[in-house]
Chain A
Amino acid sequence: MADIFDAYALADAWDEMFERPGEVRAAYEPVLAALQPIEPGELRFRADQMARSFTDRGVTYAFAGEERPWPLDLVPRILDAVEWDFVQRGVGQRVRALESYLADAYGPCRAFEDGVVPWRLLLGSPHFHRAAHGIEPPGGVRIHVAGIDLVRDEAGAFRVLEDNVRVPSGVSYVIENRRAMTRVFPSLFDGQHVVPVDGYAQRLLAALRAAAPERTADPRVVVLTPGPGNAAYFEHALLARLMGVQLVEGHDLVCRGNRVWMRTTRGEVPVHVVYRRLDDDFLDPLHFRPDSVIGCPGILGAATAGNVTLANAVGNGIADDKLLYTYVPDLIRYYLREEPILPNVESYRPDEPGQLEAVLDQIDRLVVKPVDGAGGQGIVIGPKADARTLERTRKAVAADPRGFIAQRPVALSTSPTLAGDRMAPRHIDLRPFAVNDGDSVWVLPGGLTRVALQEGNLIVNSSQGGGSKDTWVLAEGPVEGPSRTAGDGPPPPVVPRQLGPDGTPALVPEGARQQ
């Protein structure tokens, strides 16, 4: 029988499933055993079934102007308990350090005075908003939700690729991926202790309610979306539905007397916490883009007055500036007095003396990234770029050293992915999601694993045609769920079923009874 892993040739990178050709890592043994006997045609069938169900349920994303089913690969990506513990502690630490940085940058500016971070980093950032100055967020939380992008390098070590503390998206796909996998491929889960991911919305709601202005007894939380035209609208709607809160658009809100209200069939009702899925620039036409019609005029004034909480806070962009990224290990040491758990990818800062020349000299061996690029846009991978692109990049970096960072290219780890009717290694990354309620940072077990579907490609963003994988965190023991032994009461009484008139089930005709 043909084996779908027959032609699986390891790439020049860490492979998630195989230690060496033919030698599978322990965590993957049951999955491999379940997958191996399956015919390629059967896998294709399940993949098509999954795509169809995504289409029907509207779990789609826009690619090249077309509505496509969310691309989920059938092979899960697995993290064992030890790996996950390491990742979640690292992510939590990172979020705490970035919170401290934001509070500092919009407050006393100690890190700048002490020379840990240069002043120009702050003042030169396009995301440094004067309007955010003086907003003291309840509980001191500015990062309610974070998505920290990680990759695994050639040696198998996790490294941070970038921090997203503005409006990180993708968590709905974590939830949907799990749902789809358990339906299409239940046998894969047999005997595995996969930690569930469905607690996210409740955690998020609790964090958002905890972030409400202090004098609010029963805070009303809403999700603010740009509308159905937005690529992430599906996610906005899912989160609102799972949390049981209203999904509002800008024109559903009105600001009056420095408070935010929403227009309902019973008149205007007050809103206390806005989980906004709009960039700063579109949020309030009074402060930012006056042409924005998807925001709500006056909402920033209400936030400044302390009457409404915006989650995430305005001005967080200074913390996910990629130049700041290069300072995060120092910030962890400075604010938390801890050693960084997750290392960065080795990076250059062209705006520092001497480093610009180093970058320009070896630009064909580096990855160059614009500091505020999103979705993989504007990234130039030196070893794969042609001479003209390199020349253009060299000029751009020389003209605006503050606008770029450069990094050593990392061969992202690979994972077996269905390509045609065979398994082939494809590069992946990982975006864990963290929720901060002010007391602690909770990291959703797993996160979004994205896959570069073209062979050798290192860019995994779905806006660039990437796919995804269900990401499993394995618990060491059985997963804790609602306990069945907790009540310890007597078993419920057994009520006899109602039967037909003559004591037999009414629909079984005489003579058809089993002998």
Chain B
Amino acid sequence: MNDVILSRIAEALTWTGRYVERADATARILDAYLHRMLEDPWRDEDMACRSLYAILGMDAGPAPVDMQQVLDQLAFDARSTGAIEGALGAARLNARSAREAVSSAMWECLNATWHALAEQRRAARRTGPYGYLELVRSRAALFFGLADSTMSRDDSWRFVVLGRSLERVDMTVRLLSVRVLDAAHAPDWPTLLSASGADEAYARVYGGFGDTPRVAEFLLLDRDFPRSALHALTTAEECLAALGRPRQDPARRPIGRLRTRLEYLDTHALEEQLPPLLKDLQTACMASAEAVAERFFPYQGPVVWAREGT
């Protein structure tokens, strides 16, 4: 009977996927940064924190920034969907309003996570944020694992995966952007890799770390690593292809174009092409998300006042 899904539900599913992915990526980035800072006593805390804000597209304000402020604003702030707690709260509300579309296991995962966060947040004030960030990462993995193992591969599932993929491209691009645009205060390449959860996969492919633009190549172009931009774009495109049929799909076109560009990119020229490429990737994801909203979520149309007897 569920051969179709409500536009409202589709929108909620997409955002659930996006928010959980955002919380996960943010937790990884914070963890990698914190680690880095603890291990490098010569680092300028204020500048490093500022580069973190820049990655996440937020304003650090004029006053000096320290780690506590970073955690308060980027992890514990429940009012901002740019922070972990806000993103997970929004994911929970979205899943709640789509409760007959997500599986019980998925909803319970988000709900239990939400209730567990408060405790971990209190513990983080005493023992540091590791437990908190670890909880977020493992629950995000659990959530998507449950989505993969408890949802049919129908449109509902595709909207969750589409949301996750678009967010994933966005977060990967953000990470790389800071490195490319503000190298002086950006995290080094190994930190970038571990923030993407890609350190071990990278080491397997290239052997060891190395301070090299190969990291950028890996995070953008690797076909097999699920967090690379190319992989996420491919997944998003597959979802869109299965969701819709129009020949000129305005949601699919921008990311399809970027995906082909990445596939045939001359890797030797990657370094100088990076700044415009990263910008184009972000623009394409935004354009695609807007087109998806326009096409699939048009429920906010005018109220139709039916007359009796017509």
Which positions in A face B, CB cutoff 8 Å? 55-58, 220-221, 223, 227-228, 237, 240-241, 244-249, 251-252, 254-258, 262-266, 269, 286, 297-298, 301-302, 304
How many interface residues does B have (CB within 8 Å)? 36
When distances are taken between beta carbons in the complex, the residues of chain B under 8 Å from A228 are: 93, 96-97
User: In the complex, are the beta carbons of B96 and A255 less than 8 A apart?
Assistant: no
Q: What are 29 A-B contacts with C-beta separation under 8 Å?
A: A55-B111, A56-B111, A57-B111, A57-B112, A58-B107, A58-B108, A223-B100, A237-B100, A241-B99, A246-B100, A248-B6, A251-B8, A251-B303, A254-B301, A256-B304, A258-B309, A263-B298, A264-B7, A265-B4, A265-B5, A265-B6, A265-B7, A265-B243, A265-B296, A266-B4, A286-B305, A297-B305, A298-B308, A301-B309
Docked-complex contact B10 and A265, CB < 8 angstroms: yes
Do B306 and A56 touch across chains, with their CB atoms under 8 A apart? no
Q: How far is the CB of A158 from chain B (nearest CB, A)?
A: 35
User: Nearest 5 A-B pairs (CB), nearest first?
Assistant: A298-B306, A237-B99, A240-B100, A56-B112, A264-B4
Bound-complex Cα distance A262 to B299 (A): 9
B220-251 vs A, CB cutoff 8 Å, 1 = contact: the mask equals: 00000000000000000000000100000000
A220 surroundings in chain B (CB, below 8 A) = 1
Q: How far is the CB of A317 from chain B (nearest CB, A)?
A: 22
Known: A58-B108, A264-B4. 7 other contacts (CB 8 A): A249-B8, A251-B8, A262-B6, A265-B4, A297-B303, A301-B307, A301-B308
Contact string, B91-104, partner A, CB cutoff 8 A, digits 1/0? 00100110110001
A466 to B64, CA, bound (A): 53
- Residues of chain A within 8 A (CB-CB) of B2 are 244-246
Complex Cα distance A247/B112, Å? Answer: 23
Hey, which chain B residues are within 8 Å of A263, CB to CB? 6-8, 298-299, 301
A228 to B104: give the CA distance in the assembly, Å.
16
Tell me the bound Cα distance from A249 to B99 in angstroms.
13
Interface assignment of B155: CB less than 8 Å from any CB of chain A: yes
Chain A residue contacts of B96, Cβ below 8 A: 58, 228, 237
Residues of A within 8 A of B6 (CB): 246, 248, 252, 262-265
Interface assignment of B149: CB less than 8 Å from any CB of chain A: no
Contacts of A237 in B (CB 8 A): 96, 99-100
Option from B99, B104, B304 in Cβ contact (under 8 Å) with A247: B99
Point out the residues of chain A lying under 8 angstroms from B1, CB to CB: 220-221, 244-245
Give the shortest distance, in Å, between B35 (CB) and chain A (any CB).
31
Mark B residues whose CB is within 8 Å of A.
Answer: 1-2, 4-10, 93, 96-97, 99-100, 104, 107-108, 111-112, 115, 155, 243, 296-301, 303-310
Known A263-B7, A269-B4; judge A255-B108 contact (CB<8 A).
no
A266 and B301 CA atoms in complex are apart in Å by 15
A50 vs chain B, min Cβ distance (A):
15
- Measured between beta carbons, the chain A residues less than 8 angstroms from B300 are 251
CB distance from B291 to the nearest CB of A (A): 13
In the complex the two chains form, what is the Cα distance from A51 to B1 in whole Å? 34
- Report Cα–Cα, A304/B309, bound state, in Å: 10
Q: Which residue of B lies closest to A249 (CB)?
A: B8
When distances are taken between beta carbons in the complex, the residues of chain A under 8 Å from B304 are: 254-256, 297-298
Cβ of A206 to closest chain B Cβ, rounded Å: 13
State which of B7, B115, B301 has its C-beta within 8 Å of the C-beta of A55.
Answer: B115
Q: A244-B2, A249-B8 are in contact. Are A301 and B306 (CB under 8 A)?
A: yes
**CB-nearest residue of chain B relative to A205?**
B1
Contact residue among B155, B303, B308 (Cβ-Cβ distance under 8 Å from A265): B155
| A286-B4 in contact (CB<8A) | no
Complex interface: chain A residues within 8 A of B93 (CB): 228
Q: In the complex, which residues of chain A have a beta carbon less than 8 angstroms from the beta carbon of B308?
A: 286, 298, 301, 304
Check B305–A56 contact: CB distance below 8 A. Answer: no
Chain B residues with Cβ below 8 Å from A244 are 1-2
Which partner residue on chain B sits nearest A247 by CB separation? B100
Cβ of A56 and Cβ of B108 under 8 Å apart? Answer: yes
Nearest CB to that of A257 among chain B residues?
Answer: B310
